[in-house]
């Protein structure tokens, strides 16, 4: 639901973002580095790529940031760090389809938070669409990315993915509050968010005493790929979209990620989805269509 008329249609931006974030789980699975290391370098490289442009083009915007807005961006960065930490780890314990699907249960938390904190009106159509999409996610979770249901070993990974969903919802809600009407320019906002996120992840990996640099060239290429694809083309475009559409629409659009990731996992990782996963993915897409249509 557009609030203004950007030069690029928000629907196109969301389509690009969903495609980009759908590659995230595959890149994470390809990497053999510890989960926190993957998350840290993804965010660090994204920050390094964006910060010079942001500082050169938006120096005045940075100087005009209020303490409240900077603190809000910092909170979003903290939530994003916890989202990455829990979700990346979940992929070590459960299937791509289950992990990505569960982490995208965030619309439920976004709608509740938006209604309570941002006073956003949630229409009956939006509610029905989200419920349809969530029902599809439940069906996909039963499929578990393969032919069987969840096992005892996947319960921990599934729980981490749900925690990641809650953190992602907080990240989206703060972004919506700060980016609504372009109150804060995109690049200054995401630069602060990603920088704080990287610092939080650095603290976590130092607590775990993980090595920072002893990784082969293949890993560094994967870290860079995570930054350019899911980072810049994914999360950064999502933050742009938050200035033009309601947070609930952005979140439910991201439910396309489980479908894209499941297809990529089939082609690139040999993870075959079962009937429940295929049926659930279809239902998820139906929910997105219902919610996004105005």
Residues lower than pLDDT 50 in the chain: 1-3, 145
Chain centroid, CA 173 distance in Å: 12
pLDDT at 216: 94
pLDDT at 3: 46
DSSP element (H, E) containing 195: helix 186-207
Whole-number Å distance between alpha carbons of 32 and 48: 23
User: What pLDDT digit, counting tens, does each position of 155-178 carry?
Assistant: 778 788 889 988 988 888 887 777
Is the pTM here over 0.85, yes or no? Answer: no
Phi, psi of 178, rounded to the nearest 5 degrees = -85, -30
Domain range list for the chain: 10-292
pLDDT at 286: 80
Exposure string (b/e) for 62-75, b if CB count within 10 Å is 16 or more?
Answer: beebeeebbebbbb
- For residue 243, the SS3 value is coil
CB 93 within 8 A of CB 156: yes
Whole-number Å distance between alpha carbons of 191 and 48: 9
pLDDT at 34: 93
pLDDT at 40: 95
pLDDT at 64: 80
pLDDT at 263: 84
- Tokens representing residue 165 in the block: 């969903």
């Amino acid at each position: 639901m557009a609030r203004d008329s950007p030069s690029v249609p928000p629907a196109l931006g969301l389509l690009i973002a969903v495609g980009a974030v759908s590659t995230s789980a595959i890149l994470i699975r390809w990497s053999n580095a510890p989960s926190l290391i993957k998350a840290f370098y993804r965010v660090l490289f994204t920050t390094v790529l964006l910060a010079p442009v942001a500082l050169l083009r938006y120096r005045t915007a940075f100087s005009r940031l209020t303490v409240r807005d900077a603190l809000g961006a910092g909170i979003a960065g903290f939530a994003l760090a916890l989202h990455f930490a829990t979700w990346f780890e979940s992929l070590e314990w459960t299937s791509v389809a289950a992990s990505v699907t569960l982490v995208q249960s965030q619309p439920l938390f976004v709608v509740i938070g938006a209604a309570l904190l941002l006073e956003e009106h949630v229409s009956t159509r939006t509610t029905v669409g989200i419920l349809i999409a969530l029902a599809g996610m439940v069906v996909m979770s039963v499929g578990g990315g393969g032919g069987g249901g969840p096992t005892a070993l996947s319960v921990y990974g599934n729980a981490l993915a749900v925690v990641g969903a809650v953190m992602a919802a907080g990240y989206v809600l703060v972004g919506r509050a700060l980016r609504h009407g372009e109150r804060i320019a995109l690049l200054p906002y995401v630069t602060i968010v990603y920088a704080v996120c990287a610092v939080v992840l650095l603290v976590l990996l130092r607590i775990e005493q993980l090595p920072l640099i002893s990784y082969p060239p293949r890993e560094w290429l994967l870290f860079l790929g995570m930054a350019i694809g899911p980072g810049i083309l994914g999360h950064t475009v999502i933050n742009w979209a938050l200035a033009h559409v309601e947070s609930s629409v952005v979140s439910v659009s991201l439910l396309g990620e489980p479908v894209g990731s499941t297809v990529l996992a089939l082609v690139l990782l040999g993870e075959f989805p079962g009937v429940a996963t295929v049926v659930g993915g279809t239902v998820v897409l139906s929910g997105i269509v219902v919610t996004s249509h105005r």
